[in-house]
Amino acid sequence: MCPYVLQFDSSNKTHLDFIVAASNLIAYVYDIPKIVDRHEIIQQPNQNPVVKFQVKATVTNDDDDLKSNTCGGFEGDTVSKIDAILSQLPKVDELLNLKVQPH
């Protein structure tokens, strides 16, 4: 079922690889120094505790909602709507000199 909350485990190599890759990507995009020392990265949650995710009471998760909103199911003209949106996106060669700036 999707979505669900994952518990980060710094001893899990896959979890740590994801954090390292994501942080390096963000550092690259915003032109800030990368932290490549995995030991330092592992210590970050201890220095900056992450607030536990809590589902809002107003959010419902009924079986009918799950059946109609499954991940990946398309109905009716959804594919044509997606194609219309994709056709409005710029071509790859138009983005070659794109500069991302933090906001």
Angle between helices 38-47 and 13-29 (to 10 degrees): 90
pTM: 0.47
Report the length, in residues, of the chain. Answer: 103
pLDDT of residue 62: 60
Chain centroid, CA 6 distance in Å = 13
Please list, residue by residue across 25-47, b when 16 or more beta carbons sit within 10 angstroms of its beta carbon and e when fewer do: eeeeeeeeeeeeeeeeeeeeeee
What average pLDDT values come out for the chain (103 residues) when binned by 10 residues? 75 91 88 88 80 73 55 69 90 82 61
